[in-house]
């Protein structure tokens, strides 16, 4: 607890936002974070009035916090959003995550599309992992989640799909891919990835300039329930931890460096990436974006289960979505 007053009122400050040189009480801190997300959305022209957004929510502190921020901004900016939760079928971790997300959706009165891998697609993530005998569980999980997010956003005719990646997540990926000299991936870490009609949805990252500690504090101070269980597959690599420490040290010495790095990066890569995505082709099975004849999701599901499951994701979404579905999809 910091024994100084809030910059804007007489209440005691609960935190110091060093990059903004602000001591803030609970209420003004929440307002500050919400307005920072609003500025980020406006700065990068992520959402405009009347847009319909799909927000991917896992149930962790970042996505639960963002859900509430989006709720207040949807009224201010004038957009609507629906939540997408992917139930990966990872035992207790998935059960609790889904329960938390559904509870928040009920409380906020937001539509929630749940894609349950086990029931809807016939396999859970652990079953997929064991069929493929892979040790790279998180990369496989990433392929599944990205595929479903894209398919749901396209099928529901949403203007964009939003994820809860924050500044620290993005900077770690940036440094990691720079060290590995993986420029294909490096170029994707922009605040907005413009989609291509019918094959790839526009992706937005409203917390591009929000620090991990700040969104965690926002969620905790608001008293929001989130899943504090670690995914049993989580394997924090020493390499990524070292990058994180290095970035934090720079930020400690010069508060605000994380934001300025991200702004410069976004400025350099945004246009370049936009031109790139237009070149990509379509999967011959499911019709979504793919660099090869068959997309990775269809290829891997076919390898593991003898059937490509891409088209199934689209069918499930069509049968489940309500708010954003245009009439022909419901027939």
**From the CB of 150, what's the least distance to Zn ion, in Å?**
10
Max Cα-Cα span within the chain: 65
Partner whose binding site includes residue 64, from ligand SF4, Zn ion, none (CB under 5 to 8 Å by kind):
none
**From the CB of 111, what's the least distance to Zn ion, in Å?**
26
Q: Per rule CB under 6 A, is residue 231 in the interface with ligand SF4?
A: yes
Cα gap 90→102, rounded to integer Å: 17
Inter-residue contact 52 to 158 (CB < 8 Å):
yes
Q: Per rule CB under 6 A, is residue 132 in the interface with ligand SF4?
A: no
Q: Per rule CB under 6 A, is residue 254 in the interface with ligand SF4?
A: no
Inter-residue contact 125 to 117 (CB < 8 Å):
yes
Residue 279 burial by Cβ neighbours in a 10 Å radius (0-12, 13-18, 19+)? exposed
Q: Which range binds ligand SF4 by CB under 6 A, 9-17, 68-76, 133-141, 173-181?
A: 133-141
Cα gap 36→47, rounded to integer Å: 14
142 vs 281 by CB, closer to ligand SF4: 142
Task: Show contacts with Zn ion in window 281-310 (CB under 5 A).
Answer: 283, 285-286, 295, 298, 310
Cα gap 310→285, rounded to integer Å: 7
Locus of tokens 């009480």: 25
Cα gap 244→179, rounded to integer Å: 13
Q: Which range binds ligand SF4 by CB under 6 A, 3-11, 209-217, 226-234, 283-291?
A: 226-234
Q: Per rule CB under 6 A, is residue 237 in the interface with ligand SF4?
A: no
User: How many residues sit in the footprint of ligand SF4 (CB under 6 A)?
Assistant: 7
Q: Per rule CB under 6 A, is residue 57 in the interface with ligand SF4?
A: no
Inter-residue contact 232 to 91 (CB < 8 Å):
yes
Q: Per rule CB under 6 A, is residue 146 in the interface with ligand SF4?
A: no
Q: Per rule CB under 5 A, is residue 6 in the interface with Zn ion?
A: yes
Note the residue count of the chain.
Answer: 331
Q: Is 103 left (phi over 0), alpha (psi -120 to 50) or beta?
A: alpha
Binding mask 84-123 for ligand SF4 (x = CB under 6 A): ----------------------------------------
**From the CB of 53, what's the least distance to Zn ion, in Å?**
24
Partner whose binding site includes residue 256, from Zn ion, ligand SF4, none (CB under 5 to 8 Å by kind):
none
Helix (H, G, I), strand (E, B) or coil at 300: helix
**From the CB of 28, what's the least distance to Zn ion, in Å?**
4
Q: Per rule CB under 6 A, is residue 138 in the interface with ligand SF4?
A: yes
Nearest to 66 by CA among 50, 53, 48: 53
Q: Provide the 10 A C-beta neighbour count for residue 49.
A: 7
Residue 320 burial by Cβ neighbours in a 10 Å radius (0-12, 13-18, 19+)? middle
For ligand SF4, the binding residue among 25, 55, 101, 137 (CB under 6 A) is: 137
Partner whose binding site includes residue 204, from Zn ion, ligand SF4, none (CB under 5 to 8 Å by kind):
none
Locus of tokens 């609970």: 26
Q: Which residues bind ligand SF4 (CB under 6 A)?
A: 137-138, 141-142, 231, 233-234
Q: Which residues bind Zn ion (CB under 5 A)?
A: 6, 8-9, 11, 25, 28, 283, 285-286, 295, 298, 310
């Amino acid at each position: 607890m910091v024994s100084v007053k809030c910059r804007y009122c007489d209440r005691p400050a609960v935190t110091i936002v060093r990059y903004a040189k602000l001591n803030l009480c609970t209420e003004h801190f929440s307002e500050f974070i919400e307005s920072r997300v609003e500025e980020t959305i406006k700065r990068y022209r992520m959402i405009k009035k009347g847009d319909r957004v799909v927000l991917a929510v896992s149930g962790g502190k970042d996505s639960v916090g963002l859900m509430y921020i989006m709720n207040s901004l949807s009224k201010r900016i004038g957009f609507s959003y629906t939540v997408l939760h992917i139930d990966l079928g990872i035992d207790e971790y998935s059960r609790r995550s889904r329960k938390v997300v559904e509870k928040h959706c009920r409380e906020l009165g937001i539509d929630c599309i749940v894609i349950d891998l086990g029931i809807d697609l016939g396999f859970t993530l652990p079953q997929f992992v064991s069929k493929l005998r892979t040790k790279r569980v998180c990369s496989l999980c990433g392929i599944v989640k990205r595929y479903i997010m894209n398919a749901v956003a396209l099928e529901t005719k949403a203007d964009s799909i939003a994820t809860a990646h924050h500044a620290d997540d993005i900077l770690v990926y940036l440094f990691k891919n720079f060290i590995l000299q993986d420029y294909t991936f490096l170029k994707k870490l922009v605040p907005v990835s413009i989609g291509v009609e019918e094959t790839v949805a526009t992706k937005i990252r409203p917390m591009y300039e929000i620090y991990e500690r700040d969104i965690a504090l926002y969620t905790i101070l608001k008293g929001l329930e989130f899943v504090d269980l670690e995914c049993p597959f989580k394997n924090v690599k020493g390499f990524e931890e070292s990058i994180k420490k290095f970035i934090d040290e720079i930020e400690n010495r010069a508060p605000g460096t994380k934001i300025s790095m991200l702004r410069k990066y976004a400025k350099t890569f945004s246009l370049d990436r936009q031109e790139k995505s237009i070149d990509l082709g379509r999967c011959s099975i499911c019709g979504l974006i793919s660099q090869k004849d068959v997309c990775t999701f269809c290829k891997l599901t076919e390898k593991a289960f003898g059937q490509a499951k891409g088209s199934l994701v689209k069918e499930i979404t069509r049968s489940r979505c309500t708010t954003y579905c245009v009439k022909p999809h419901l027939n």
